[in-house]
Structure 1
């Protein structure tokens, strides 16, 4: 337990161990999954899709890696700085997860515009988190949710360009992330952080399946 710069980290040894296990499992499979995806895209996908695979894979591993480092680090000035990176990385993961799906429609001005918009919002969120650390946490949560569900605006054109299975998995993953937010803000619950990160890892796994399916399955004609 500890406090730094007004931010309180009130987790006991067992909570930290549980959180570390969740992160370790997630990061291990993220490294394997990203490698498989990029290898597949290198062999079978055009250049644009390969770039999207790299963006997604690096974003996934980077986010889980930073989160792992931040959450197991002792309370200190270093942890305070890692907190900025951890919260900023969430914006990167959301934008990176959108990228493989929106890249499929880069020839459509609406989808291309959405891709640019998502990354601009991510950049804004990173700016806020780095320049005003610890002061806009509620705003950040709203931005995370807004970014995550803003895909509904382009759901119809995206659905016509990716497999139905991918679309279904995107929605399921989004629901899991959103349910996890309940535990993210439920700070008095013991093991709250580990439970929240369990939802994150589960949702990330579902979205990874959506991305891999998007690369490996063809889109049926209607």
Structure 2
């Protein structure tokens, strides 16, 4: 059999990748989905004020990201559906960033004239979501630039955060951002990779994402 025939007979890369997943791939996201759903429901139940809807936006963004990632990593998809779910999984990062900023700007920093900053970040996040979902051939650097712009869009608000909320919440916000960043580095380097067949570098990344989201949850719950 020629090499071309062997290549043609080989299963698609998407199926090979799914069949090679560690056994715990996506489980942290599933646990996170239920954990944040329960904690979020309790938080909203005891907070009937007008600030509830921005907080609900954050909670929905976390649950949506965890649910999407859990589905993507736990289900064996067809080739076409696999690539669609992968794009959606990546695009949900923009949803989470915007969801996190919504209560911070609209509740924590309300009345400080920073709405323009929030809506600018929202516009970039919408662009990033659209690029990730629909511009399939987009160069990686394009998505990387949008991730960086959206992710750092709240930095100019730091002095206002200190004035309105104090050093403690700012430290937690920055700590959560640091956890996200450490997870991203682990994902990029594929290290550490403790138990490749069960709990690998991707699971380490998910662990940092869940921890970072929980840190930001603590800040938003205290607004």
TM-score (norm 2): 0.82
Alignment-derived partner of residue 3 in structure 1: 13
- Of 169, 183, 187, which residue of structure 1 is paired with 2:186? 183
Match of 1:169 among 165, 169, 172: 172
1:108 to 99, 107, 112: 112
- Paired position in structure 2 for 1:219: none
Q: Report the secondary structure of 1:29's partner residue.
A: helix
Aligned to 2:207: 198
Report the Cα offset of residue 91 of structure 1.
Answer: 0.2
- Root mean square deviation of aligned Cα: 2.3
Q: Distance in 1 between matches of 2:110 and 2:93?
A: 24
On the 8 A contact 2:27/2:74 being kept in 1, the answer is no
Map of 1:20 onto structure 2: 26
SS in 1 for 2:131: helix
> How many residue pairs were aligned?
205
Rg: which structure is higher?
2
Deviation at 1:2, TM superposition (A): 5.4
Gaps of 5+ in 1: 215-222
The TM-score normalised by the length of structure 1 is 0.82
Q: Distance in 2 between matches of 1:24 and 1:99?
A: 24
Unaligned 5+ segments in structure 2 are 1-10
Moved over 6 A (4+): none
